[in-house]
Amino acid sequence: MLSKLLSLLLLSACCLGTSPAAERPNILWIVSEDTSAFWLGCYGNGEARTPRLDRLASEGSRFTHAYSNAAVCAVARSTLLNGIYAPSQGTQHMRSRHPIPAEFRPYVFYLRGQGYYCTNAAKTDYNFKGKDAAIWDESSNKAHYRNRKEGQPFFAIFNLGMTHESSLFRQKKEPVTRLKPAEVFVPPYLPDLPEVRSDIARYHERVTQLDDRVGEILDELENAGLAEDTIVFYFSDHGGAIPRGKRYLEDSGVRVPLLVRVPGKWRKLSPFKEAEPVSEPVSFVDFAPTLLSLAGLEKAPQMQGRAFLGEHRKALEKGAGVFLFADRFDELYGMRRGWTEGRWKYIRRFMPQQPAAPYSNYSFGQPAWQAWREAYRKGSLKPEHARLWESPQPVEELFDTEADPWEVKNLAADPDHAARLTGMREALKQTMIAVRDTGIVPEPMFAALGREQGIVPYVRAESFDYGKNVDLAFRAGEGKDLERFNAGLGSKDPVERYWSLLGLRIAKVAGKAESRLEDEHSANRVLAAEILWVTGKQEQAKAALAKELTREIDDYSLLNLVNVLERLQIVDGLPPGAIEGLRKRAIADENSSGYVRRFLKRFEQGAPD
């Protein structure tokens, strides 16, 4: 069996265009967590102390428009690993383990087929069904390129967690910070609160710790005599960690630092001059094709990005942009998509009836988030800082990130930018169609519609009218086609029924929603009940939601249900014993990472966050 697998790997590598015997560079990835580009000195932060990263930037290429396609780790990593957008794989929901097609192979598969020794120290979190560590030669806290065979090229990842958002959670004893909180710069999208200032000062300490560790890794490479044979990448898995960073599609959440040092021996593999900034947009979907290109391989046919370095580099095409996405993060459902060409950013909310905070209650371990929420509850915020907590949210946002780098001025309603808005909206829609974005299928329907094969074959089948459904999803967010929505309720397609219901929900019009209270899919039944609630039929809605608690539904349907129960704030109004019934259901909540149990804990405390 093992010899058969090795033969398959070698055959695959040869088919991609090179020979295992060819000399190839080593490749080292240093990946930090939750670090937006603006935290580093080389990206213009005068308060930063990051000498080793700044030096790395001076020795290589500093990409000024590098993006994580998703603003949270597991979703971003599934895109990185396979070179395929998470929504094209059905991996866009945080900590989900849905099956993906077998042909969606990770870049590690191809590198190992070329003789590379591949190590990962140590985070995986790839967000699809399977054993994450099994794809590597070694994946552990001790995984290291030094364990390879003599003369064997290596690909190695060192994942550094000291900058993770949890590093800002309340601790018993905090070290004295180098910067005085009263003197730090507060980005204008944040309220100027003591806790915000304190967390900014504290996070600078974490970034300096990161810089120190990067220096140790680079020194180790140098001391081993490998620096001239090794291409080094440094980047972050997404933005963060202060509020409105991680989980948000603004640049504070998705624009990441990317530094690439290509030693003289391998300069032919990069078209960029040393120490000069690179302005062409790149994103995580491009990293897998780029790795293969650096190893002399053409990209695998299923990969969706482009190689921006290496023998098979593809120049940026005119009109090319970066596709951004956000769906369920931890326990909270929602759907947003974005498109950027570098300067201009378009964000669309498909569920604008929900506030923009929080997208995960996990964030509230951080004092700055707690303080911002408390200030909102007290009514002490400026309107621009209260907006994040209010609903409905704008369906569309358009930002000029050069004139407005902190993305606080939404230009979507500005007639001077009407043509640009239309163009970017259409670019986003056509991208979703081209990549078959599975986000238009509610996650609670994945198991029933995808069955053992996963949701990807379902949305790619000729029998599924993808264009019709994505168009309806765009209409639903605006809530302005009531005739179309009511007609869609009678469709045989459960996805069409879902978006038709959502259109009525956003319009706050009951229409024929009552007819879907016995729909075959829980997501549609729950949405129909929610429509009744917001249109004044609250007792009927409450009875329907209470009934849903008694039905045999899967974990994701149950998670969606408790999302609605919390959002409508009707937990206390449920029949006696409902919470106890929910507790029993939550015991089997394995596939959704215990998120139902998180909700239950808040319900029992009587103060949902």
Domain ranges of the chain: 2-315, 441-605
Residues assigned a catalytic role: 73
From the list 525, 519, 529, 523, the residue with the least C-alpha distance to 557 is 523
1-15, 199-213, 442-456: least confident range: 1-15
Q: Quick one: pLDDT at residue 66?
A: 98
Helix (H, G, I), strand (E, B) or coil at 119: strand
What mean pLDDT comes out for the span 51-80?
A: 98
- SS3 sequence, 507-556? HCCCCCHHHHCCCCCHHHHHHHHHHHHHCCCHHHHHHHHHHHCCCCCCHH
Three-point CA angle 402, 406, 412, nearest 5° = 75
Task: Retrieve residue 100's tokens.
Answer: 């993906």
Confidence of residue 16 (pLDDT cuts 50, 70, 90): low
| pLDDT tens profile 83-130 | 999 999 999 999 999 999 999 999 999 999 999 999 999 999 999 999
% pLDDT > 70, the chain: 94
CB atoms within 10 A of CB 586: 21
Indicate if the pLDDT at residue 499 is higher than 80: yes
Name the amino acid, one letter, at 255.
R
Span 433-490, pLDDT tens digits: 999 999 999 999 999 999 889 999 999 999 999 999 999 999 999 999 999 999 999 9
Taking residues 217-228, report their average pLDDT. Answer: 98
Q: What is the tens place of the pLDDT at every residue in 384-440?
A: 999 999 999 999 999 999 999 999 999 999 999 999 999 999 999 999 999 999 999
> What homologous superfamily is domain 2-315 in, according to CATH?
Alkaline Phosphatase, subunit A (3.40.720.10)
DSSP E strands, 148-228: 154-160
- Could you give the CA distance from residue 36 to residue 68 in angstroms, rounded to a whole number? 10
ω before 358 within 30° of 0 (cis)?
yes
- Among 282, 329, 360, residue whose Cα is nearest residue 69: 282
